[in-house]
Amino acid sequence: MPTSSASNHSSHPEDLIGRLNSAHTPYEVKLKALRDLKNQIIGNRTKKLAFLKLGAVNSVVSILSSAVVAGGWENREFYELVLVQCAAIIGSFACGLEEGVNAVLDAGAFPLLLNLITHINDKVADAGARSLKLIYQSKRAPEYDFLQEKNMEFLLSLLNSKNENVSGLGANIITHSCQTTLEQNTLSEAGVIERLVGLLRGSLIQRDASLESLASMIYGNPEVASKFLSPENGRALSVVVELIKDKQPRTRMLACMCLIYLRNASTSYLQDSEIKNKLVMILLELLDDPGQVGDEAPFVLSSLISQKEDMQKIAYDADVVDKLCENLNIFSFQPTRLQGTFLALADLCSKLECCRDRVIHLKVFKFVTEALAHDNPHVRSAACYFLRNVSRSVKNLSAGQFMNEAVAAPLVQLLFDSNESVQIAALGAISNVVVDFTAHKSLFMQFGGVKQLVQLSKSMESAIRINAVWALKNLAFLVNNKCKEEILLELTISTLSSLISDPEASVQEQALALVRNLVDGTLNSIDYVFGENGLLLHAIGKQLWSTSKVEVLIQGMYTLSNVASGNELHKEAVMDQLFPKTINDKETVLVMFMQSADSRLRTAAVWALVNLTFPSSPGACGRVTKLQNAGIVCQLKNIVNDPCLDVKLRARTALGQLIMFGDAS
């Protein structure tokens, strides 16, 4: 059938797919229909979704597979045209559309495309490589196993290819699948770095692909970083340094990323102030990019400044905070941009008070409120992360900047979020926000925060339990008894005691710290641990005798210390835990704690001694005898000159008190 009449066919989606699927349609007409389909979907998300629903991917993949076979027999050139169109369509479905990637993978296109890249016709190889590259941009693409020798050989053959799309694909595969240190080292040993360095001097596609995969190989790996910088790679570093000034914004960004990962991998590279300033200035400019580069730039910025106070200061001085806040306004409809911007702001606010002040001055809180309720879970998490860091500002916290209705209400809502990582991020934010010195804690309770925190403290997911108990602990910090009672009423003593005995040590630690905060303060609050026949006290005592985790022991000892500061009954109850009847009367965990290598545990133990032997209390004498029998005096003498001043001071006080009761030799 001549092509001119084929153009009379309807290009309505259903008809188009019908023609592709029909066994009676001649291949010439199918080729025309394929081109038509391609031109309809490229750049057009709506059309892609519509055709996906009609099963277009399956139709195209089956034409592709039959064309591969048919082309082997006859009319090779014609079938090559079909292959090119099919590959282009498959690639377009996979481009920027997760549903598309899924459909393409489910239809079994992947192995077919892999076969195309070794095709003798360069145009076919090009089309196959392009499609695979687009698939590899998605996280859903299959992981490439570099550890298999055959795979590594194939990868190297890709990287060596003269076809820029094929060698670029090789680099893209590394970017996608290289994650572990073992994979990084294996690639490096196979000589991949040298090849990637070679590609840095190639075409735009090769350069960008190479920069990105170099970054993924260097990330967190000092060994690979130093191999990259070794003389055998010539002036590789200076090539990358040149590329941060490239005309293409994407190249600039990827080159920055490479340098940042290099300097993060080891503190001995790229630490001079010139490169620091340059990186900040270039990323600052890239934040203005309206497209994908601008979406990704805040994440790269975050990797530059995260955990690095000096870099945060440089960024602050370059007005990066202002630029990011401005972008919250301009790009408020772009989720990736919002996520990255909040992450970068969070990093800036992690340490420097000036950044926190600036952010508050620029009134970003209305964006925070919106972001906390955003459709996209990543945006919600990022907003929480930001809130957590900005609320580290004691000054602004005590001024009640954070605990207002606009923040508290959506934040409490996030505790009900269906996404676990959002819940964890929200708990992190709440933990900081509730450490509030004013009366604002009640606001949090009003919104039902306590109830939900308690629910989450019973979660199956340990990360959620830890964070929930952490938040409760901070909520219980320096509050009045009314608040404490409300927390306990909701939580119940039995739940709290099972949290103390949680399988996760970090949960135990936080639960003990929560009890420590609850019993801190008035005599009445000490009574909380005596409810339900001293269930909590027993749980604490049991942990002290069984766990080896020093953090847990510290919190446990401080809790007992707080209890021992109470009345006679309280002190005796602590003694019962330290000298349990089931164990030899003369042995106590205290001796072990006082010999601990951790000065914090030594301090906590000696504090308890000070409180137990306080001279004016009537039962002190009996307790002193018991302690002396257990050899405490000898232990105390060992630490009166402790290198830790805290230990030294408390040990002397305790020893003084013990001596007052007579024979302390």
Considering beta carbons, is residue 37 or 409 the nearer one to other proteins? 37
Among the residue ranges 70-78, 90-98, 147-155, 644-652, the one whose residues contact other proteins (CB under 8 A):
90-98
Q: Which of 58, 80, 86, 91 binds other proteins (CB under 8 A)?
A: 91
Residues 471-510 that bind other proteins (CB under 8 A): none
Phi, psi of 38 (to 5 degrees): -55, -50
Considering beta carbons, is residue 86 or 604 the nearer one to other proteins? 86
Considering beta carbons, is residue 247 or 363 the nearer one to other proteins? 247
550: which 2 tokens?
């020093």
Cα–Cα distance for residue pair 166/206, rounded to 1 Å: 9
CB of 84 to other proteins, least distance (A): 9
Block residue for tokens 């499609």? 131
Residues 99-138 that bind other proteins (CB under 8 A): 127, 130, 134
CB of 64 to other proteins, least distance (A): 15
Cα–Cα distance for residue pair 406/372, rounded to 1 Å: 10
Task: Tally helices (H) and strands (E) across the chain.
Answer: 43, 0
Cβ–Cβ under 8 Å, residues 231 and 197:
no
Residues 265-304 that bind other proteins (CB under 8 A): 290-291
CB of 327 to other proteins, least distance (A): 14
Query: x/- string (CB under 8 A) for other proteins, residues 318-337?
Result: ---------------x----
Considering beta carbons, is residue 292 or 628 the nearer one to other proteins? 292
625: which 2 tokens?
């005898």
Phi, psi of 432 (to 5 degrees): -80, -40
CB of 494 to other proteins, least distance (A): 53
Cβ–Cβ under 8 Å, residues 348 and 384:
no
Considering beta carbons, is residue 199 or 507 the nearer one to other proteins? 199
Would you list the DSSP string of 86-147? HHHHHHHHHTT-HHHHHHHHHTTHHHHHHHHTT-SSHHHHHHHHHHHHHHHTSTTSPPP-TT
Residues 327-386 that bind other proteins (CB under 8 A): 333
Cα–Cα distance for residue pair 34/17, rounded to 1 Å: 9
Cβ–Cβ under 8 Å, residues 427 and 471:
yes
- Applying CB under 8 A, the site for other proteins has a residue count of 26
**Amino acid letter, residue 584:** N
Residue 574 touches other proteins, criterion: CB under 8 A: no
Q: Which of 150, 247, 363, 581 binds other proteins (CB under 8 A)?
A: 247
CB of 247 to other proteins, least distance (A): 7
CB of 59 to other proteins, least distance (A): 18
Considering beta carbons, is residue 196 or 560 the nearer one to other proteins? 196
Q: Which of 20, 61, 95, 284 binds other proteins (CB under 8 A)?
A: 95
CA 141 to chain centre: 21
Report in angstroms the alpha-carbon separations of 355 from 257, 278, 358, 366, 398. 23, 20, 5, 18, 17
CB of 56 to other proteins, least distance (A): 15
Start-end of H helices in 266-332: 273-286, 292-305, 309-317, 320-330
| Torsion of Cα atoms, 428 then 433 then 435 then 440, to 10° | -150
Cα–Cα distance for residue pair 560/566, rounded to 1 Å: 10
CB of 43 to other proteins, least distance (A): 4
Considering beta carbons, is residue 100 or 428 the nearer one to other proteins? 100
Considering beta carbons, is residue 293 or 557 the nearer one to other proteins? 293
Residues 181-220 that bind other proteins (CB under 8 A): 203-205, 207
Considering beta carbons, is residue 205 or 359 the nearer one to other proteins? 205
Cα–Cα distance for residue pair 371/413, rounded to 1 Å: 13
CB of 38 to other proteins, least distance (A): 6
Sign of CA pseudo-dihedral 531, 536, 538, 541: negative
Considering beta carbons, is residue 51 or 477 the nearer one to other proteins? 51
Query: x/- string (CB under 8 A) for other proteins, residues 31-60?
Result: ----x--xx--xxxxx--------------
Considering beta carbons, is residue 200 or 320 the nearer one to other proteins? 200
Cα–Cα distance for residue pair 70/111, rounded to 1 Å: 17
**What is the contact surface with other proteins in residues (CB under 8 A)?**
35, 38-39, 42-46, 88, 91-92, 95-96, 127, 130, 134, 164, 203-205, 207, 247-248, 290-291, 333
